[in-house]
Amino acid sequence: MYQTESWGSPYVPASGRNGVGSYSGGGGDPFERIERLAAESAVVIFSISSCCMCHAIKRLFCGMGVNPTVYELDQAGDPIAGKEMELALMRLIGASSAAALPVVFVGGKLVGAMDRVMASHINGTLVPLLKDAGALWL
Protein backbone atom coordinates (compact mmCIF):
# COMPACT_ATOMS: atom_id res chain seq x y z
CA MET A 1 0.00 0.00 0.00
CA TYR A 2 1.05 3.56 -0.49
CA GLN A 3 2.69 5.34 2.37
CA THR A 4 3.20 9.04 2.17
CA GLU A 5 6.49 8.77 4.01
CA SER A 6 7.97 6.45 1.41
CA TRP A 7 7.79 9.12 -1.25
CA GLY A 8 10.35 11.21 0.54
CA SER A 9 9.75 14.81 1.13
CA PRO A 10 10.01 16.62 -2.16
CA TYR A 11 6.39 17.52 -1.71
CA VAL A 12 4.20 18.07 1.26
CA PRO A 13 1.44 15.62 2.11
CA ALA A 14 -1.34 17.76 3.35
CA SER A 15 -3.85 15.24 4.61
CA GLY A 16 -3.80 15.74 8.30
CA ARG A 17 -2.90 19.36 8.24
CA ASN A 18 -5.38 22.08 7.96
CA GLY A 19 -6.62 20.75 4.66
CA VAL A 20 -9.09 18.15 3.73
CA GLY A 21 -9.32 16.38 7.02
CA SER A 22 -9.85 19.15 9.40
CA TYR A 23 -12.32 20.95 7.27
CA SER A 24 -15.39 19.25 8.54
CA GLY A 25 -18.69 19.21 6.78
CA GLY A 26 -21.57 21.56 7.24
CA GLY A 27 -19.97 24.60 5.81
CA GLY A 28 -19.04 24.74 2.17
CA ASP A 29 -19.75 22.43 -0.64
CA PRO A 30 -16.93 20.29 -2.03
CA PHE A 31 -16.40 22.59 -5.01
CA GLU A 32 -15.69 25.51 -2.74
CA ARG A 33 -13.39 23.39 -0.68
CA ILE A 34 -11.51 22.34 -3.77
CA GLU A 35 -11.23 25.89 -5.01
CA ARG A 36 -9.93 27.08 -1.69
CA LEU A 37 -7.34 24.37 -1.37
CA ALA A 38 -6.25 24.81 -4.96
CA ALA A 39 -5.60 28.49 -4.42
CA GLU A 40 -3.42 27.92 -1.39
CA SER A 41 -0.43 26.43 -3.20
CA ALA A 42 1.29 26.83 -6.52
CA VAL A 43 0.80 23.19 -7.51
CA VAL A 44 -1.98 21.12 -5.98
CA ILE A 45 -2.59 17.44 -6.65
CA PHE A 46 -5.72 15.70 -5.48
CA SER A 47 -4.80 12.07 -5.17
CA ILE A 48 -5.64 8.68 -3.77
CA SER A 49 -2.81 7.14 -1.81
CA SER A 50 -3.22 3.67 -3.32
CA CYS A 51 -3.52 4.87 -6.90
CA CYS A 52 -0.47 4.24 -9.03
CA MET A 53 -1.42 6.79 -11.67
CA CYS A 54 -1.38 9.33 -8.87
CA HIS A 55 2.06 8.07 -8.01
CA ALA A 56 3.10 8.56 -11.61
CA ILE A 57 1.91 12.16 -11.64
CA LYS A 58 3.74 12.89 -8.42
CA ARG A 59 6.91 11.44 -9.94
CA LEU A 60 6.39 13.64 -12.97
CA PHE A 61 6.34 16.83 -10.98
CA CYS A 62 9.14 15.78 -8.70
CA GLY A 63 11.19 14.88 -11.74
CA MET A 64 10.69 18.42 -12.98
CA GLY A 65 11.86 19.83 -9.68
CA VAL A 66 8.43 20.97 -8.59
CA ASN A 67 7.14 20.77 -5.02
CA PRO A 68 3.46 19.86 -5.31
CA THR A 69 1.02 19.96 -2.43
CA VAL A 70 -0.76 16.62 -2.33
CA TYR A 71 -4.15 15.94 -0.80
CA GLU A 72 -4.81 12.22 -0.34
CA LEU A 73 -8.58 12.10 -0.43
CA ASP A 74 -8.71 8.56 0.92
CA GLN A 75 -6.79 9.64 3.97
CA ALA A 76 -8.90 12.63 4.82
CA GLY A 77 -9.88 13.01 8.45
CA ASP A 78 -13.48 12.99 7.31
CA PRO A 79 -13.93 10.22 4.73
CA ILE A 80 -17.26 11.59 3.59
CA ALA A 81 -15.72 14.94 2.80
CA GLY A 82 -13.02 13.14 0.89
CA LYS A 83 -15.50 11.16 -1.14
CA GLU A 84 -17.55 14.27 -1.85
CA MET A 85 -14.52 16.03 -3.18
CA GLU A 86 -13.60 13.06 -5.33
CA LEU A 87 -17.01 13.16 -6.95
CA ALA A 88 -16.81 16.91 -7.36
CA LEU A 89 -13.47 16.60 -9.09
CA MET A 90 -14.92 13.98 -11.37
CA ARG A 91 -17.54 16.48 -12.42
CA LEU A 92 -14.99 19.23 -12.86
CA ILE A 93 -12.89 17.31 -15.33
CA GLY A 94 -15.88 15.69 -17.00
CA ALA A 95 -14.88 12.15 -16.21
CA SER A 96 -17.56 9.55 -16.71
CA SER A 97 -15.89 6.69 -14.88
CA ALA A 98 -14.61 6.46 -11.34
CA ALA A 99 -11.04 6.96 -12.46
CA ALA A 100 -11.05 10.71 -11.96
CA LEU A 101 -7.93 11.09 -9.91
CA PRO A 102 -5.29 12.42 -10.00
CA VAL A 103 -6.37 15.98 -10.70
CA VAL A 104 -3.91 18.83 -10.89
CA PHE A 105 -4.29 22.56 -10.24
CA VAL A 106 -1.55 25.02 -11.07
CA GLY A 107 -1.74 28.58 -9.85
CA GLY A 108 -5.23 27.92 -8.59
CA LYS A 109 -6.44 26.98 -12.04
CA LEU A 110 -7.53 23.53 -13.12
CA VAL A 111 -5.14 21.76 -15.47
CA GLY A 112 -6.89 18.41 -15.44
CA ALA A 113 -6.25 14.70 -15.06
CA MET A 114 -3.19 12.77 -16.17
CA ASP A 115 -3.91 12.98 -19.90
CA ARG A 116 -4.32 16.76 -19.84
CA VAL A 117 -1.23 17.22 -17.72
CA MET A 118 0.85 15.12 -20.07
CA ALA A 119 -0.57 16.82 -23.15
CA SER A 120 0.26 20.23 -21.73
CA HIS A 121 3.75 19.09 -20.85
CA ILE A 122 4.34 17.78 -24.36
CA ASN A 123 2.93 20.82 -26.12
CA GLY A 124 5.10 23.04 -23.96
CA THR A 125 2.41 24.89 -22.04
CA LEU A 126 2.94 23.29 -18.64
CA VAL A 127 6.37 24.69 -17.88
CA PRO A 128 5.43 28.35 -18.48
CA LEU A 129 2.35 27.77 -16.34
CA LEU A 130 4.51 26.43 -13.55
CA LYS A 131 6.92 29.32 -13.85
CA ASP A 132 4.10 31.85 -13.70
CA ALA A 133 2.78 30.19 -10.59
CA GLY A 134 6.21 30.36 -9.03
CA ALA A 135 6.57 26.60 -8.79
CA LEU A 136 9.52 26.41 -11.13
CA TRP A 137 12.59 28.55 -11.50
CA LEU A 138 14.91 28.33 -14.44
Partner 1 sequence: MFPSWPMRFHHQQQGSSRSGGESTDSGSGVNTISSKAEANIEPESPISRKAASSSSDHYHFQHHQMDQLAVSNGGAGPSSSSHHHIQQQNQSADKPPNEKRKGISSEKPLDAKTLRRLAQNREAARKSRLRKKVQAYVQQLETSRIKLSQLEQELQRARQQGLFLGGCSGAGGNLSSAAAMFDMEYARWLEDDLRHMSELRAGLHAHLSDSDLRITVDRYISHYDEIFRLKGVTAKSDVFHLITGVWATPAERCFLWMGGFRPSELIKMLISQLDPLTEQQVMGIYSLQHSSQQAEEALSQGLDQLQQSLVDTIAGGPVIDGMQQMAVALGKLANLEGFVRQADNLRQQTLHQLRRILTVRQAARCFLVIGEYYGRLRALSSLWASRPRDTLMGDENSCQTTTDLQMVQPSQSHFTNF
What is the Cα Rg of the chain in Å? 14
Bridge partners of 44, per DSSP, are 69, 105
Cβ closest to partner 1, residue 9 vs residue 123: 123
For residue 11, the minimal CB distance to partner 1 (Å) is 14
CB 34 within 8 A of CB 88: yes
For residue 56, the minimal CB distance to partner 1 (Å) is 3
For residue 77, the minimal CB distance to partner 1 (Å) is 25
First to last CA, the chain: 35
The Cα-based distances of 51 to 73, 84, 100, 131 in angstroms read: 11, 18, 11, 27
Cα separation of 65 and 137, whole Å? Answer: 9
Cβ closest to partner 1, residue 26 vs residue 115: 115
For residue 40, the minimal CB distance to partner 1 (Å) is 24
Residues in contact with partner 1 by CB under 8 A are 1-2, 50-53, 55-57, 59-60, 63-64, 99, 114-115, 118-119, 121-124, 126-127
Cβ closest to partner 1, residue 27 vs residue 94: 94
